Structure 1
Amino acid sequence: MACGKEKQNRKADTKNMSDKVLEVNVDDLYLGGVFSLVKNVVKNKPKDMQIDIAAIEKFTDKENIQSFEKCGSKVYYVGYDGNKWLKQFICFFHLKKLIREQNYTCVHIHADVANKLMVSGMAARTAGVTKIILHSHAAGVDGNHRWLKAWIHRRCRRLLKWIGTDYVACSDIAAEWMFPNIAAKEITLIQNGIDLQKFRFSQTVREMVRKQLQISDELLIGHVGRFCYQKNHDFFLEILKQIRERGLHAKLLLVGEGPNEKAFREKVHACGLDSYVIYYGVSKKVHELFMAMDLFALPSHFEGLPIVGVEAQASGLPVIFSDTITREAKITQAVSYLGIDARDVSKWLDTIIHYGKEKRDRIKAYDILKNAKFDIVDTVNGFMKLYRG
């Protein structure tokens, strides 16, 4: 009798574990795209599914941890603050231990480079996980020593084929960057959906926020992103110079923080352009800031599929992307792709002026993105299909 009960208990435990998912490499550092995506998925998941978080970097705001906990998720720190090379081994053992203790049968790992997927993926595989989802969110490397990071990435990415069970990317470019030796039919593309209702344009909110920003009739060019190599803030310096030269009645709203912020501020000051820039810092009400903008600009060196670009279009903004960004990011008609060399600066100004003169019904953008399946509900459905497939 005892053996029969044990078998029944094991079957019941297996059934419960099938809906227990661990999201790896999620944190609130600069409130990046992965954080926003996973947070939205957790908020909209089915009630019978448990989704927990394994953070390799420490959360910077306890409120963000609490927001996950309110949805029933647990947040675990599996990182290490010491030597970066030693960190890889310690993260491996911390994650492996967590997976075994909590009996996760589905582990979803998010990363921009292959070595991060490889380390966490190996931890999941040696812990006996049956479903390991490797998710590519970028198409380049950021930070210091980029050549070394890119070299390590290229050496590791061909090993992912033998580590993961499922492969996901936010765009075709992100798929090519991470999984060059995996057939395209084996890679699932899941769009970075957002809470469309939250970003639906409101004239009342627009007027309120512009008043707070002390913006009257100026053309407000917006950007949301951390100050780092990837986001290419130095290109904005050249745009600001031409704004002054052409006498354009405009200002640049920069939302975010980052390691290169101090250097950028110093360059702006040295050029006497301080009066053209609003440094907003990190915000939990980015959707309201989008409504105050007249145009969104993203001159990135690389992206996967930028969530901020989707959010900007959802609020009815015209958008200028660098030509390095996937064409899959274009959802509405008011989107342009331009180069980011010095000779391209004048094209950006011409396009900014063009969009600044256009009149548009920003409310219509909601329906366009809804029909294009960029609602978070569509993304959640895609994730659930993976988790339960």
Structure 2
Amino acid sequence: MNQTKPVKVLQVVGAMNRAGTETMLMNVYRGIDKNKIQFDFVSYSKEESHYDDEIKSYGGKIIKLSNTWSIKEMVGKINMHGPYDAVHSHTLFNCGIANTAAQIAGVKIRIAHAHTTNDSSDSLIRKIYLKCMRKMILHSSTHLLACSKGAGHYLFGEKGVQNENYSYFPNAIDYSPFLQQDNNSEARKFKMQCGFGNNLVIGHIGRFIKAKNHLFLLRIMQCLLEKDPSVKLLLVGEGEEKKRIINEVKKVGLEKNVVFAGIRTDIPVMLQCMDAFVFPSIYEGLGLVLLEAQASGMPCIVSEAIQPEADLELGLISKQSLDEHPRIWANRIMEVVGKKEKDFLKITRAFEEKNYAVSVSIAKLMSLYSATSGGTDENYTDRLI
């Protein structure tokens, strides 16, 4: 490999909006030496995404696809904007399309990365699709990464996670902004603007999609109001389900108690506004925002769908079943309020021990991206048949 040129990597994503996978990638991208490694991004979205301008400021390209199922178009984009040393796909089962195209284009390193434990359908057609795409992923990828054990099993199957090229990859997070004392003063300003006063604030950060279970969160809120009529719910994020949730808030008369903050760049401040973080997801690959919440010392009440890798073992994670009545959740929330972790050294040590630091992720990815081979395609394919 010519060492005078930076290693060139193509990241394949749905769109670079503010979500867990995308934030993890930006944490890495901000931290790498751009003289040694450079990222371009394939986006499946025709719209501008939240991180696009920042990516361009670092010299990265945003490459749009008109047909996300076209291997031919993907090969063309790789050849047009390459050559690439590695293609790193983050698009669930569609990773098979991207990595097959990369294989045809002669890209040596082809990574499929698992970020979730489920999706929205279990129809027969969907099951057939998953089986075919999983086989495609295993045959075209030189490396398989997963943010949690559950995510790895879901995307790669039992055979995939037993492969020698499969490995657990902790999500990269720059936790230092969440430890800053400045967040407290900014949080007070925001709470004043929202009219929170000294009221109890329960929070959630995440896209408005069915998997995040906002409707259940509203049921919990109704139960909390029986205990404290002044409690507030702070919702940060955007998404396809937001309009539905807004209508539900109006329907049940919670307009004075629920604040929709939209997409925010000051997540550390948003977390400091909260007294407890509630995360009743139906499924999650990991839940990067839970790492951010723990970095802020925030007590978190989460569903059993949350992967064990997300728990930093700081005593901040409390799991509840979604089968339990929302009142049980409300009771548990009231129990943990006021029990923030204020020992920042302890928090820092937990992140380092769990290998969630950005520096660790960058070192591992640099090793993968810079590899000259992952075994021949023929031998790798033979191992998977």
Give the TM bin, normalised by the shorter chain: 0.7 to 0.9
Q: One-letter code of the match for 1:380?
A: I
Structure 1 or 2: larger helix share? 1
SS at match of 1:66: helix
Q: Which whole-Å CA distance do the structure 2 matches of 1:18 and 1:137 have between them?
A: 27
Instruction: Give the C-alpha shift of residue 360 in structure 1.
Output: 4.1
Q: Which whole-Å CA distance do the structure 1 matches of 2:340 and 2:12 have between them?
A: 43
Task: Give the structure 2 partner of residue 173 of structure 1.
Answer: 150
The 3 A distance-change label for structure 1 pair 353 and 191 is same
Is the 8 Å Cα contact of residues 299 and 340 (structure 2) preserved in structure 1?
Answer: no
Aligned counterparts, 1:82-161, within 5 A: 87-89=68-70, 92-101=71-80, 102-111=82-91, 113-114=92-93, 116-142=94-120, 147=123, 148-149=125-126, 151-161=128-138
Percent sequence identity over aligned pairs: 26
Task: Give the structure 2 partner of residue 336 of structure 1.
Answer: 318
Is the 8 Å Cα contact of residues 144 and 166 (structure 2) preserved in structure 1?
Answer: yes
Give the alignment's TM-score, normalised by structure 1: 0.87
Q: Which whole-Å CA distance do the structure 1 matches of 2:85 and 2:232 have between them?
A: 50
The 3 A distance-change label for structure 1 pair 149 and 60 is farther
Gaps of 5+ in 2: 372-385
The 3 A distance-change label for structure 1 pair 149 and 315 is farther
1:323 aligns to 2:310 (yes or no): no
Q: Which whole-Å CA distance do the structure 2 matches of 1:134 and 1:370 have between them?
A: 25
Give per-residue Cα distances to partners, 1:217-244, cap 9 Å, x unaligned: 2121111111111111111121022112
The 3 A distance-change label for structure 1 pair 43 and 360 is closer
The 3 A distance-change label for structure 1 pair 146 and 287 is farther
Instruction: Give the C-alpha shift of residue 345 in structure 1.
Output: 1.6
Q: Which whole-Å CA distance do the structure 2 matches of 1:217 and 1:367 have between them?
A: 32
How many residue pairs get aligned? The number is 362
Task: Give the structure 2 partner of residue 187 of structure 1.
Answer: 166
The 3 A distance-change label for structure 1 pair 303 and 150 is farther
Give the alignment's TM-score, normalised by structure 2: 0.88
Gaps of 5+ in 1: 1-10, 81-86
Aligned counterparts, 1:194-273, within 5 A: 194-202=173-181, 203-247=184-228, 249-273=230-254
1:55 aligned to 6, 25, 43, which one? 43
Instruction: Give the C-alpha shift of residue 299 in structure 1.
Output: 0.6
Q: Which whole-Å CA distance do the structure 1 matches of 2:294 and 2:32 have between them?
A: 25
Is the 8 Å Cα contact of residues 142 and 165 (structure 2) preserved in structure 1?
Answer: no
RMSD over aligned CA atoms reads 2.1
Instruction: Give the C-alpha shift of residue 16 in structure 1.
Output: 5.6
Instruction: Give the C-alpha shift of residue 18 in structure 1.
Output: 7.5
Aligned counterparts, 1:12-91, within 5 A: 12=2, 15=3, 19-29=7-17, 31-46=18-33, 47-61=35-49, 64-80=51-67, 87-89=68-70
Q: Which whole-Å CA distance do the structure 2 matches of 1:379 and 1:209 have between them?
A: 33
Is the 8 Å Cα contact of residues 297 and 340 (structure 2) preserved in structure 1?
Answer: no
The 3 A distance-change label for structure 1 pair 212 and 280 is same
